[in-house]
């Protein structure tokens, strides 16, 4: 073994190890057919050419280019029956396709309240072509698909995400679900049970935000449009039947109120499928012309809605949950079609806020006003969050706060002061931070295909066009401190809307809240009691 190692060592050293002359690099190259050292492009071959200049003799590179219009443009086609078809190109194997309809609780003034809630629960049930919900789900499974239906105050959305190769099947299925539902007695009874359960859950859950949102809309738009009940009232659950639903569908599920939107498909194929399944189709409720469509414009009224409730036993587990009183104060902003919509969105982001136990940090809202001025200074407040609800003819900017029932009055005064400060000095740094955060949230959300689908569908439904993300970002960058001050000052001239939930013993009167929002400092009028 030692002899083998010694022989290998001598071979590597070359013939010079036996006393002869060592071979030069050229000789080694000639003998073994390989260069003694390797030449690198960064070495002596091009010694005087800087890295910023192209190398001589190297072909000019041809880089891939993307036509901005081809990549980002939302293509829109209107069919002969008025239905709009909108698509957005996006690379990938899967697509999201759906039908959005101008239909929701705001259109139920002449009907039993709760129809949109019922239709949401009845979605993707049996149709003329599919005998049951299971058949629909099995059909979608063949294309790796999932389905969902959501209703809001002004829009109903049926959506499917599936493999792009199954586009024809998906559009046909959507058309059948929307236009040819059977609405059997068994399905209606199951829906009544589901709605009843959801109403009970709404009143029992520890998080009161959905219930407060319902209450603040009722207070702000009393008895009209977006102030109508989004959830079906308990007394109407047993009254809604097939005839009531067909009467509503006949007026609001018409082609001119619909958009077929898709992300991740070719526009020409989508239009072809739309013509095949949605053009000249007779719906299950007949083809009579819509004659009773509600075109009411939202009327902001302001006001207060109170719900006295024992909140001491809302904990879902063995650990007790602190008893809290929840207050939401709102003022009318503007619709999403107006130019001031962007300044209001920036203002809402600047207010921010959240729960007192948020795990957020820099960039997650901890530098917003409701954290810095409220939650960081008042340890007894459990929540202070800003919300902005916007519709095609109105809007509502709200602040939700929660605290111990004994500190309700102080909590309300803190919130009214924050509303007054909105129309005060706006720091350039906080404004830039709010604008950057808003643009960041916009762009991050639009990374998701279903979010792009909803954005395309809602914009085309409302305006027959779509503002691209870069256009929205440009509008956000153009917001100035004086814009924030102007829109806030306009908002403060309106009557407030107030929603209150829990122990309301120490709740200030509506007139006192209104006086505080009309004052210079946001303070509530002083009250004096002879006996406590």
Asked if residue 511 has pLDDT above 80, the reply is yes
**Chain segment 388-443, per-residue pLDDT in tens:** 999 999 999 999 999 999 999 999 999 999 999 999 999 999 999 999 999 999 99
User: What is the model's pLDDT at position 135?
Assistant: 97
* Average pLDDT for 41-55: 71
Q: How confident is the model at residue 17 (pLDDT cuts 50, 70, 90)?
A: very low
SS (H, E, C) 288-310: CCCCCCCCCCCCCCCEEEEEECC
The mean pLDDT of 52-62, rounded to a whole number, is 82
Q: Which of 513, 486, 210, 211 is nearest to 334 (CA)?
A: 486
**What pLDDT is stored for residue 44 in this prediction?**
57
Residue 412: predicted pLDDT: 98
Contacts made by residues 458-463, CB under 8 angstroms, sequence distance 24+: 458/100, 458/155, 460/74, 460/76, 460/84, 460/86, 460/259, 460/261, 461/84, 461/100, 461/101, 461/102, 461/155, 461/259, 462/336, 462/337, 462/392, 463/337
Where does the pLDDT of residue 31 fall: very low under 50, low under 70, confident under 90, or very high at 90 and above? Answer: very low
Q: Tens of pLDDT along 454-465?
A: 999 999 999 999
How many other CB atoms sit within 10 Å of the CB of residue 406?
A: 13
- Tell me what pLDDT residue 357 has: 67
Does 323 have pLDDT greater than 50?
A: yes
- Give the pLDDT confidence score for residue 9 in this predicted structure: 44
The three-class DSSP label of residue 235 is helix
pLDDT of residue 48: 83
User: What is the pTM for the complete model shown?
Assistant: 0.84
Lowest mean pLDDT among 34-48, 152-166, 249-263, 289-303: 34-48
Residue 26 has pLDDT above 50, yes or no: no
Asked if residues 285 and 250 have their Cβ atoms less than 8 Å apart, the reply is yes
């Amino acid at each position: 073994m030692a002899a083998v190692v010694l022989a290998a060592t001598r071979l590597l050293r070359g013939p010079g190890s036996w006393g002869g002359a060592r071979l030069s690099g050229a000789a080694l190259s000639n003998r073994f057919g390989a260069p003694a050292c390797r030449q690198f492009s960064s070495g002596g071959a091009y010694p005087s050419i800087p890295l910023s200049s192209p190398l001589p003799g190297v072909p000019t590179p041809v880089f891939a280019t993307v036509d901005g219009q081809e990549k980002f443009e939302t293509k829109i086609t209107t069919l002969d029956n008025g239905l709009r078809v909108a698509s957005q190109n996006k690379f990938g194997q899967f697509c999201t396709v759906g039908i959005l309809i101008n239909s929701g609780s705001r259109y139920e003034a002449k009907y039993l309240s709760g129809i949109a809630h019922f239709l949401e629960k009845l979605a993707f049930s049996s149709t003329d072509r599919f005998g049951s919900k299971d058949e629909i789900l099995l059909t979608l499974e063949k294309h790796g698909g999932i389905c969902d239906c959501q209703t809001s105050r002004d829009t109903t959305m049926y959506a499917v995400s599936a493999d792009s190769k199954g586009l024809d099947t998906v559009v046909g299925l959507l058309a059948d679900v929307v236009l040819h539902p059977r609405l059997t007695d068994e399905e209606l009874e199951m829906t009544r049970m589901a709605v009843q359960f959801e109403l009970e859950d709404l009143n029992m859950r520890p998080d009161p935000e959905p219930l407060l949102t319902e209450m603040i809309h009722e207070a702000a738009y009393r008895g009209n449009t977006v102030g109508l009940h989004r959830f079906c009232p308990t007394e109407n659950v047993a009254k809604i039947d097939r005839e009531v639903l067909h009467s509503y569908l006949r007026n609001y599920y018409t082609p001119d109120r619909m958009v077929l939107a898709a992300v991740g498909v070719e526009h020409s194929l989508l239009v072809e499928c739309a013509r095949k399944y949605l053009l000249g189709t007779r719906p299950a409720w007949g083809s009579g012309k819509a004659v009773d469509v509600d075109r009411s414009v939202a009327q902001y009224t302001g006001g207060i809605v109170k719900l006295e409730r024992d909140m001491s036993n809302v904990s879902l587990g063995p650990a007790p949950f602190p008893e809290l009183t929840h207050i939401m104060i709102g003022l009318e902003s503007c619709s999403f079609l107006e130019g001031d919509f962007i300044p209001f969105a920036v203002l809402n982001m600047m207010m921010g806020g959240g729960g007192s136990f948020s795990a957020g940090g820099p960039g997650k809202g901890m530098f917003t006003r409701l954290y810095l001025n409220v939650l960081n200074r008042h340890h007894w407040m459990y929540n202070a969050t800003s919300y902005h609800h916007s519709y095609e003819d109105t809007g509502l900017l709200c602040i939700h706060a929660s605290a111990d029932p004994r500190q309700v009055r102080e909590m309300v005064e803190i919130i009214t002061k924050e509303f007054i400060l909105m129309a005060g000095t706006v720091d350039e740094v906080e404004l830039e931070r709010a604008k950057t955060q808003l643009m960041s949230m916009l762009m991050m959300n639009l990374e998701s295909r279903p979010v792009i689908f909803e954005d395309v569908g809602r914009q085309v439904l409302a305006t027959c066009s779509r503002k691209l993300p870069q256009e929205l970002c440009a509008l956000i960058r153009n917001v100035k401190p004086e814009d924030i001050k102007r829109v806030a000052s306009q908002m403060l001239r309106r009557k407030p809307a107030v929603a209150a939930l829990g122990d309301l013993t120490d709740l200030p009167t509506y007139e006192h809240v209104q006086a505080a929002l009309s004052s210079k400092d946001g303070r509530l009028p002083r009250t004096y009691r002879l006996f406590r």
